[in-house]
């Protein structure tokens, strides 16, 4: 919602989101985790930087998709990433997929497909937006997988600071290379930049990075599948985007998938 209310090019929105968040988090990270930064191996630094690159690519694709397709379709398609995270983490990180989790993923992905299918007939612009959202899903899957690996031994402040700063630098470079101006926007747009940095980035993404230390990347990405439902409701209330029957039906399936996957995680298993 905040992205749609910001009257600026997509790369500029993404660059401000990560830059402002980095200006807040990085000094705190340096103050609280300076010894850890010095102790990080070259390999960990490379992976943290790579995570930031994946995050930058994710926002570049996904925020651009919101200029071409509806909020509901864009957010749903970008959160299709659990299917990528689940398959990759099964082989790369040892996070095994239970039958219940697979059922939850299947239901959630089915809901995403239903919503996306309803968007195909709108036109090539909407189709291109859907493609960009899917590319954003691939990028954020890489971000979650690397975060899962690093967060097992790197603190939240150290990891998030490195990833966010890297993403901010990449997005600033992309915006300048694209010829976008970084100044001259309305007061409302600058307010949206600040809110994007404070709420979805520092509160939202940092909470996900915190969770990656304790649960699998697959479950973290499934949790984000609840976002399309809330985004669709907000788009209706604020922008007047009336959800279509496929979006409503698909959203119901997504919530069912989230519930099944987390119920399986939360249910204690007997010793036998």
**How do residues 156-170 score in pLDDT, each as one tens digit?**
999 999 999 999 999
pLDDT of residue 219: 76
Give dist(CA 91, CA 155) in Å, integer: 24
Burial class (CB in 10 A: 0-12, 13-18, 19+), 106: middle
Structure tokens at 153: 């031994």
Opening angle at CA 92, ends 86 and 96, nearest 5: 50
What pLDDT is attached to residue 214?
A: 86
Tokens of 76: 């749903």
CA distance linking residue 264 with residue 255, whole number of Å: 14
Which pLDDT value is given to residue 79?
A: 78
Q: What pLDDT score does 95 carry?
A: 64
Ranges under pLDDT 50 in the chain? 267-272
> For residue 118, which of 245, 260, 268 has the smallest C-alpha distance?
245
What tokens appear for 264 in the block?
């399986």
DSSP state of 267: S
Residue 120 near residue 127, CB atoms below 8 Å = yes
Instruction: Please name which of 166, 223, 210 lies closest in space to residue 51, comparing C-alpha atoms.
Output: 166
Q: What is the pLDDT of residue 269?
A: 45
- pLDDT score at 55: 97
- pTM value? 0.85
User: In this structure, what token pair is assigned to residue 261?
Assistant: 């996957």
Write down the pLDDT at residue 19.
98
- CA nearest 163: which of 36, 55, 19? 55
């Amino acid at each position: 919602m905040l992205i749609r209310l910001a009257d600026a090019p997509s790369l500029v929105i993404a660059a401000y989101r990560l830059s402002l968040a980095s200006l807040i988090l990085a000094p705190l990270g340096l103050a609280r985790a300076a010894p850890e930064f010095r102790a990080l191996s070259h390999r960990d630094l490379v992976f943290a930087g790579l995570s930031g690159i994946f995050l930058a690519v994710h926002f570049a694709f996904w925020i651009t998709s919101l200029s071409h397709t509806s909020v509901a379709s864009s957010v749903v398609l970008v959160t299709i990433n659990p299917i990528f995270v689940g398959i990759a983490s099964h082989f790369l990180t040892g996070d095994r997929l239970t039958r219940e989790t697979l059922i939850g993923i299947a239901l959630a992905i089915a809901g995403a497909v239903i919503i996306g299918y309803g968007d195909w007939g709108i036109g090539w612009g909407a189709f291109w937006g859907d493609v960009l959202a899917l590319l954003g899903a691939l990028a954020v899957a890489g971000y979650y997988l690397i975060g899962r690996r690093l967060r097992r031994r790197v603190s939240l402040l150290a990891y998030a600071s490195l990833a966010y700063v890297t993403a901010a630098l990449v997005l600033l470079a992309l915006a300048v290379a694209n010829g976008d101006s970084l100044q001259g926007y309305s007061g409302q747009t600058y307010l949206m930049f600040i809110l994007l940095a404070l709420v979805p980035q520092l509160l939202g993404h940092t909470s996900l990075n915190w969770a990656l230390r304790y649960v699998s990347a697959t479950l973290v990405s499934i949790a984000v599948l609840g976002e399309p439902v809330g985004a669709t409701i907000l788009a209706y209330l604020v922008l007047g985007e009336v959800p279509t029957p496929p979006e409503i039906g698909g959203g119901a399936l997504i919530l069912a998938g989230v519930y099944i996957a987390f119920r399986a995680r939360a249910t204690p298993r007997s010793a036998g």
